[in-house]
Chain A
Amino acid sequence: MTPHANTHPGAIGRWRTLPSAGRRAAVSLIVMLLAWELIAHSPRLFGFEVPYLGVLPAPSAVIGEWVMLLGDAHYWGSWYLSFTRVFAGFISALLLGVPLGLWFAISPTMRNLFFPVFEMLRPVPPIAWVPAAIIFWPTQELSIISVIFLGAFYTITLNTYNGGRRVDLAIIQSARSMGASRSNIFRRIVLPGTLPSIVAGAAIGMGITWEVVVAAELISGGNGGGGGGLGLFMWDAYLAGNHEQILVGMLSIGLAGYFSSGLLRRFGGLLTPWLSRN
């Protein structure tokens, strides 16, 4: 039972005591970045271009371009536009999807009548609604937001519905036996019981909204429309042949999606303090 002789906490020592996960993650990231850098410089270093991956700009160039763009108002304007669209579409999906999901969960009539309709519409990818949305809504902005709404709406409704149906019957019965009224049961039992599923659905829905916003912005760009946003930022970079900016756009969208989902989970965690987290 003698503890390890752990006497030299130097740099190497500390590296060794890192959990293997952290060490290996660092190794594979560094290897990837080096390989990518080499591939990008391959025509100069080795005299040939690597097929397919050769068009990628070097990571150093991408970072340089990104640093330059940090002071660029147009770049941040794209962030702002995409964010407002995602936010508007997402909030409306939450406001409509959660009540609808709960309604499906607690009313058998509602469920039998309209759940099949809902299920039939679901396999149509949200992006396929873009043209119909453009025809229907008076402005391009509204049509993009409505498609984003659809992207998150199905997931949020479905998750809320599933969560609502999974609320333990024994808990409802025990509340009833303690004399809770119907509205009491709904507010104090069904709603909090469904909350974890709502949060999970919202997080997945948030991921989808970022996919949809990019696609919608690209399609409106591809169809010659303007409208801005990170998707169009990338498309413009593509048209201008600025490969570094394409990568910056991709990474920015990834970051934006990652942070909004993370933020949502954090917020959801605050709403459901009874769930244990590890």
Chain B
Amino acid sequence: MGDVMQNHPAATAARKSRTLRAQAAAGARIAQLLLGFACAFLFWYLTVDVWQLPRFANLPGPSEVFSEWFSPDPIYGLSFYTPDYYWHILHSLARVGVAFVLATLLGVPLGLLMGWSQRVREYVFPLFELLRPIPPLAWVPLAILMFHGTETPVIFLTFLAAFFATALNSMLGARSIDPSLIRAARCLGAGEWRLFSRIVVPGALPQVFSGLQISLGVAWFSLVAAEMVSGEYGLGYLINTGYSMATYPTIFIGMITLGVVGYLTSVVIRLIEHALLRWGNDEQGGRS
């Protein structure tokens, strides 16, 4: 019935004019977006390079940062053309990757179990709530004492931050499932395992993924802080040494790179989510 209506000539014309209007609106939005970025860069350029306002003048301007970044022969030794740059990115990525995968492998099952079984929740959740208010970074001294070397403490701190966010959101996800669905499955004769694997897991998945997004964000947060305190290589280390060696443009290169890489990793998670959750709208909401 609906198809017939949609193929009516008047409907087609209306749809065409609607798409035209939508395209115009999108064009205006892109123009405004570019204008917004232009304003931001202009602000940076004017305050630092042109007017040289007090305090702002200490910072490197956009021209300095970008000419350094794209220079084959950088003054401070780091640009797109130096292998060191990619070495730092790779180190940070590998650390986040290991910590994130570990946190997901441990946090998602634990969280789902806590959400599913009242007994598990009542035993484990209090300990969880006791440890959670302690910020992951407050574990720094203990992590250094507990794990030898520089690599393990950094990964441990990153893992810890990601783990709590993942487990908590997985638990909330399992508890947010409409009880009617669980009752319906019981009516239809589903046993415990089938109930868990076919109802609880897919039902919790949207919130598990919003938990993973949060977890990834806090993983980068902790990683950078941990790399700044201890570590060789990595973007946090790069930013911190940029400060101590007074190579200021490098700090900004590191920050921008961090933003881009962090954003790209979250896009990867979102792509996986879309591939897995084809069945529904992605209504999201998570807690960290």
Contact = CB atoms under 8 A, between A and B. Distances in A.
Please tell me whether chains A and B touch each other in their complex, using a CB distance cut-off of 8 A: yes
Interface stretch (A7-15, A23-31, A167-175, A269-277): A23-31
Given A20-B122, A28-B126, A254-B134, A222 B229 contact: yes
Contact of A257 (B135, B225, B252, B255): B135
A43 interface: no
Contacts of B56: 136
Contacts of A130: 228, 239-240, 243
Contacts of B233: none
B150 to A, nearest CB: 13
B258 A128 contact: yes
Interface residues of B, number: 66
B280 interface: no
Contacts of A255: 133
- Among B56, B146, B252, the most chain A Cβ lie within 10 Å of the Cβ of B146
B32 A113 contact: yes
A114 B134 CA distance: 34
A interface, by DSSP: helix, strand, loop or mixed?
helix
A250 B134 contact: yes
Contact of B263 (A123, A129, A218): A123
Contacts, number: 179
Interface of B: 28-29, 32-33, 35-37, 39-40, 55-56, 58-59, 118-119, 122-127, 130-131, 133-142, 144-147, 217, 220-221, 224-225, 228-230, 235-236, 239-240, 242-244, 248, 251-252, 254-256, 258-260, 262-263, 266, 287-288
Given A211-B221, A238-B141, A238-B145, 4 more contacts: A55-B145, A123-B263, A235-B140, A249-B138
Question: What are the 6 tightest A-B residue pairs by CB atom distance, in nearest-first order?
Answer: A131-B243, A238-B141, A254-B134, A25-B126, A112-B32, A211-B135
